[in-house]
Structure 1
Amino acid sequence: MADWPMSLSFIVPPHSESFGLGQKLSTQSYLDRLVAYARAAERAGVVGAFVYDFPAAMDPWLVAFDLLACSPTLQPVVAVRPHQEAAESVARRVADLEFRFGRPTHVNIVAGATRTSRAADIDKVAARRRLAEFAEELRTDLDRRRYAAGECAPLLVTPSSSTPGVVPVDCVLMMARPRATLAEDVARVRAEQGVDRVAMLVGLVVRETEERAWEATTRLYAPDRRQEVAGRLFMSQVVSSEHTASYALAEAREIHDERLWYGAPMRGIDAPKLVGSVAQVSAWLRSCRDLGVTDVIVDLPPDPAEFGHIADVFVSGA
């Protein structure tokens, strides 16, 4: 789509069988899967690689190192929780990884989506205030450490929130939502946070025709009792306004705006999915560009071959 999006990212797969579920993979199986995803993402023109920090996940900084080591182009976006990290330590890792690999590692500053992942005895307003303080401290430390000419500045990112308080970052991310709601939320975020960049996290199931896309969706996201139980457990602990809003939309209707599907068993953990042909999904995404979305994060079914289906979405259309 010409020069849009400004960045295209994907979600780095975990070292377990699936997000939040299953046994840990063997070390070689994990590395083989990471390489397979990295190569597929590179071929599709993806640059950013979001590294989540769920309690059961591998340390995100180790994942970032593995990703940088196995890919010559991908740039990690590492989730950091201020109540667990010192800004100075994060700045040091970011600067040293850039020195080591010659490209930036970005930071996603999060409060934690669930009660168990947040700091104890802290309310949402206080957590938001801490995010702001941490972002300011981190930027100061990064500016101090990054002195070589020609270095690419790392981006600071934070999720959208209904809790008041400005967090001084470069980009705010939000889950996909129906376009009317998306337009309102993008406008609010731009006004409140003063950012130029808004990233949208969205799943994609793309095939030659709409019928085949829905057939693939049924197959790829078949009901799974383990996933359903994990999803309910996750929902019971959620305090994130982004996830809470997605639950409400899912309860209201399974499909919004013709093809935004909320039916995945783990809908609280992954994003809603755009389902359709290349032309249909491209048109939906172009409408988001017109609403002010600048960056896209794709959440794909657990198969690196899916990158081959989405590649044409971002090179077709004007």
Structure 2
Amino acid sequence: MKLLTTAPPSVQFAPGTYLEAVGTLAQWNEAAGVEGMLIYTDNSLMDPWTVAQAVMERTRRFKPLVAVQPLYMSPLAAARKVSSLAFLYGRKMALNMVAGGFVKDLEQLGDATEHDARYDRLVEYTQIMQALLRGETVTFSGTYYQVANLRLSPALPPELMPDLFLSGASDACAAAAATLEATRLSYTKPPQDLEPLAPLPGAGQIGLRFGVIARETADEAWREARSRFPEDRRGQLAHKMARGATDSIWHQEISQKAEDLHEARDGAYWLFPLRNYKTFCPYLVGSYGEVAAYVGRYRALGYTALILDVPSSEEELQHSLRAVKLGGAEVLHPASLTHS
């Protein structure tokens, strides 16, 4: 199970302070052996490519996982970003292809495309982008994109072809991920909800994202969790508003789960931070062994990538890594990150 982390959202920082924060976080993770960092995108956030370059400037081998929304740029522009950063830094990236977003964001961009059709569009977009990155002269006539004799410069070395991820939980997303041979990312349910369904569709190329709060004992972990994420009535209202402003399948499913569970908790699986609009993913809370057992169950279900939520400190990152490493997540040896 590959292990990555998440960049903090830029909206939480004053101008001029974000650069140091995201750079320091990337350095913590690289030193600890984490492979890369998800940099997500919406209409309220900084350009993720700019954040990715800042991260690459401050690390040696750390891999940005950049969210790519077709509405923000053409396939050629995205391919040029990848090849240009490879040309400058000799580094491999990863791309998280995003079909949708908040309804308000899509309305502001004048996009009324239906949910499933957005994944059809994303497949066309990604196929053009990948063909350009492979050095092909691309002529393509599809439902959403048409190009003729298009080429990319500077060329991308084959060994730097980006790893590909897709975000979503719908059948349309699963079909798109299979077509593109991409790893599908989602915000998962408790393992006991998924185990009766095994083998999961796409097993072997599926990933998940959650936060971890782990300590020597479960009591210590839960004290920390409740201190870090206290009840917030205003946040709960914001979460309900956000839930009503998206047609995302995973967001609807996990939000309903948060409402159905007593105290938003199922064993070590905890949705209280999400219900209070403090994050967009579940948390695993407990002793190192308890969290590791959950990670191991997800791994047994066929999950091959894990993206951790933003750690609150370097010490907290070490607590999280201790647990997920016990569960089988792949923490790279820091020495392997110091040489090209």
Length-normalised TM-score, structure 1: 0.86
* Contact 1:179–1:257, Cα closer than 8 Å, also in 2: no
Measured in 2, the distance between the counterparts of 1:59 and 1:299 equals 20
* CA-CA distance at 1:148 after TM superposition: 3.2
Within 5 Å, which residues of 2 pair with 1:99-178?
A: 99-118=87-106, 120-144=111-135, 146=155, 148=157, 151-164=159-172, 166-167=175-176, 168-178=180-190
- 1:8 to 2:17 alignment: no
* CA-CA distance at 1:210 after TM superposition: 0.4
Deviates more, 1:47-56 or 1:178-187: 178-187
Compute the RMSD of aligned alpha carbons.
Answer: 2.3
Residue by residue over 1:229-270, the C-alpha shift from the partner in whole angstroms, topping out at 9 and shown as x without a partner, is 432332220111011110111111045541100111445851
Measured in 1, the distance between the counterparts of 2:68 and 2:186 equals 17
* CA-CA distance at 1:10 after TM superposition: 0.9
Measured in 1, the distance between the counterparts of 2:191 and 2:61 equals 32
For structure 2, the residue ranges without an aligned partner over 5 or more in a row are 136-151, 329-340
Measured in 2, the distance between the counterparts of 1:182 and 1:36 equals 36
Aligned residues: 301
Distance 1:262 1:314, change over 3 A: closer
| 2:299 equivalent in structure 1 | 289
Task: Name the aligned partner's letter for residue 121 of structure 1.
Answer: A
Deviates more, 1:265-274 or 1:241-250: 265-274
* CA-CA distance at 1:185 after TM superposition: 6.9
Task: Name the aligned partner's letter for residue 106 of structure 1.
Answer: A
* CA-CA distance at 1:226 after TM superposition: 4.9
| 1:32 equivalent in structure 2 | 20
Residue by residue over 1:21-44, the C-alpha shift from the partner in whole angstroms, topping out at 9 and shown as x without a partner, is xxx4131x2122112211221233
Task: Name the aligned partner's letter for residue 137 of structure 1.
Answer: I
Distance 1:276 1:224, change over 3 A: same
Identity %: 27
Distance 1:126 1:92, change over 3 A: same
* Contact 1:160–1:189, Cα closer than 8 Å, also in 2: no
Residue by residue over 1:151-178, the C-alpha shift from the partner in whole angstroms, topping out at 9 and shown as x without a partner, is 2321121113324362214211111211
Task: Name the aligned partner's letter for residue 202 of structure 1.
Answer: F
Task: Name the aligned partner's letter for residue 132 of structure 1.
Answer: V
Q: 2:285 aligns with which of 260, 275, 282?
A: 275
Distance 1:184 1:172, change over 3 A: farther
Measured in 1, the distance between the counterparts of 2:200 and 2:63 equals 28
Within 5 Å, which residues of 2 pair with 1:120-269?
A: 120-144=111-135, 146=155, 148=157, 151-164=159-172, 166-167=175-176, 168-183=180-195, 187-190=199-202, 196-253=204-261, 254-264=263-273, 265-267=275-277, 269=279
| 1:76 equivalent in structure 2 | 64
Distance 1:186 1:237, change over 3 A: farther
Measured in 1, the distance between the counterparts of 2:9 and 2:198 equals 30
Length-normalised TM-score, structure 2: 0.81
Does the residue aligned with 1:8 lie in a helix, a strand or coil?
A: strand
- 1:95 to 2:83 alignment: yes
Distance 1:283 1:188, change over 3 A: closer
Measured in 2, the distance between the counterparts of 1:268 and 1:214 equals 17
Does the residue aligned with 1:271 lie in a helix, a strand or coil?
A: coil
Residue by residue over 1:196-246, the C-alpha shift from the partner in whole angstroms, topping out at 9 and shown as x without a partner, is 421111111111210010000011112345533432332220111011110
| 2:35 equivalent in structure 1 | 47
* CA-CA distance at 1:96 after TM superposition: 1.3
Larger Rg: 2
Does the residue aligned with 2:72 lie in a helix, a strand or coil?
A: coil
Distance 1:184 1:239, change over 3 A: farther
